[in-house]
Structure 1
């Protein structure tokens, strides 16, 4: 398997339109197998152990037949990063034609967060707003901020990972007195054993990201185990990884929530385009174009060594 990966390995750097989760370029590795091109793109700071799930997903995508699909397109949300730059936000909104749901990054500054949320609320009362905190708040901060959001912006669809731990999320749900659904992300994908987690009383929705969870088969097993509604979301992948996320979303017979797979709009360049049409993205067949995007020999070797170490952990 390692020979298959290294023989076709390509590594590229995708410039971003705006800073997102602290980065301005997204480095991505690819390799090709019997099922086509696959993506391996754990963030640079991730350990080999955490990255091993991402590699397991890439191997699955390159070598395993696709699951049964229940649809050919997936309804998606728009993603708004933690910025109040009017042009950046307006350009992003324009890149999400027909989208009815927006996920807004918040957590660092309450007044700036309210301004950002109010900008999205101004798009219409029928727009669904979901909030992503990335586990930044204590319970008391979550109570203060969520009440402020509710008062100033109105109801939101759900809040994603407002606090870091399940105990904190359980306490938040027991104390808050406004309608609140909590989606869990980091607490699932960063757990050594996500099947051992007790989500009752702490979570209402499970976020599924195909690479961090080790592939489509593992994501389905996790959803079946926890028996909660799911949202399929991206990990800021290229079009190759997004397409595999679309396949995961389409392989669920029921999908009640718009999926967070429209993050290609955050990238200034990509290896292919998967357009959003009437709020939906279509599963694609394409040959990725790496021209002009490949990294230096030094960065290529860094990724090659990372893959070799990570593959060794998979046996």
Structure 2
């Protein structure tokens, strides 16, 4: 199947982050059935690169699993912004669930509390709030911060990845009333074989499994993790364009049960997209549709966001080559 993918002329894009620093870069790969996105983090090892590449070519080779639902409830992502901006993001999203970034910097608790209060005000009493700490706390800080943040938010649905390791997650879970969700902890390839790394069961460390399609190697591999992890699952984004987000929606659409809104409301966090506005995956009334394949990129937008710097082009070609060699 490799020979059917247009690796050599894959376009490279760079789109600025709306409420952050830097830009999102990646490549778009065209195969016989459609397009995929390859946009791994800069510090990815060979195993991670191989997974991202497998996810990028899945749709155009073997296709995505058959969906069991036609649309997916979406949580809007709120980055580490000031309260006024947080309120604007949530109020303009149409979503009933907000996923709020916390612990972005040491000593950020006061800012996090203010952000959550603004989010709660924007959602109203009936909305749902969760937070993502991205492994930013130690156990003691997590326990005290979760109590303060839950109070500020008027209750939290769950806390995603409060600490880095499963041992730490388990220690936090024993001491708090809020549910704990594991994200990065699931990316060890042993999980897809039903093995718990480090000797601790995932069910002792977390209440919810957060599945990110590309880092897990595509929708099928993520479904395998869902089958063996023993926890209810929710799907999250890796800040992709609409082409990458479509894979996350395919995963969410194929899960046998979907009890939580998915963290796929991230398209508006980028200052643009690679598909036409009519196909761009921004939530409408809190939902996104599940499609059999992503939209094709818009030629004008590809030119607008094209990476043409020779050094950057060379770097991305090397990254893609490393990923292909690691498969």
Q: Sort the TM-score into its range (normalised by shorter chain).
A: over 0.9
Query: In 2, Cα distance between the equivalents of 1:16 and 1:173?
Result: 33
Aligned to 1:142: 142
Aligned to 2:59: 61
Aligned to 2:283: 276
Structure 1: unaligned runs, 5 residues or longer:
none
| Superimposed CA distance per residue, residues 244-303 of structure 1 (whole angstroms, 9 cap, x where no aligned partner) | 111111111321100011100101110121232111012355221213111023322211
Query: In 2, Cα distance between the equivalents of 1:146 and 1:201?
Result: 19
**Which of these residues, 228, 233, 247, is aligned with residue 231 of structure 2?**
228
Cα offset for 1:313?
1.0
| Superimposed CA distance per residue, residues 50-91 of structure 1 (whole angstroms, 9 cap, x where no aligned partner) | 2211011112122112311112211100110011162x3244
TM value normalised by structure 2: 0.89
Matched, 1:300 2:313: yes
Query: In 1, Cα distance between the equivalents of 2:88 and 2:118?
Result: 13
| Superimposed CA distance per residue, residues 106-158 of structure 1 (whole angstroms, 9 cap, x where no aligned partner) | 01311111000000111211110001001111111011111112333321000
Query: In 2, Cα distance between the equivalents of 1:141 and 1:2?
Result: 51
Matched, 1:312 2:325: yes
Aligned to 2:254: 251
1:105-124 equivalences under 5 Å are: 105-107=101-103, 108=105, 109-123=108-122, 124=124
Q: Equivalent residue of 1:277, what SS?
A: coil
Query: In 2, Cα distance between the equivalents of 1:112 and 1:134?
Result: 16
Note if contact 2:76-2:98 (Cα within 8 Å) is conserved in structure 1: yes
Note if contact 2:87-2:118 (Cα within 8 Å) is conserved in structure 1: no
- Corresponding pairs, count: 306
TM value normalised by structure 1: 0.92
Deviates more, 1:225-234 or 1:59-68: 59-68
The verdict on how the C-alpha distance between 1:122 and 1:91 changes in structure 2, with shifts beyond 3 A counting, is closer
Q: Which structure has more helix as a fraction of its residues?
A: 2
Query: In 2, Cα distance between the equivalents of 1:221 and 1:291?
Result: 37
Q: Equivalent residue of 1:307, what SS?
A: helix
1:15-94 equivalences under 5 Å are: 15-19=16-20, 23-84=21-82, 86=84, 88-94=85-91
Query: In 1, Cα distance between the equivalents of 2:44 and 2:128?
Result: 32
Note if contact 2:203-2:231 (Cα within 8 Å) is conserved in structure 1: no
Deviating 4+ runs (over 6 angstroms): none
Provide the aligned C-alpha RMSD in A. 1.6
| Superimposed CA distance per residue, residues 184-203 of structure 1 (whole angstroms, 9 cap, x where no aligned partner) | 001112x2423422212210
Aligned to 1:185: 183
Q: Equivalent residue of 1:261, what SS?
A: strand
Structure 2: unaligned runs, 5 residues or longer:
none
Cα offset for 1:35?
1.8
Q: Equivalent residue of 1:312, what SS?
A: helix
Matched, 1:6 2:7: yes
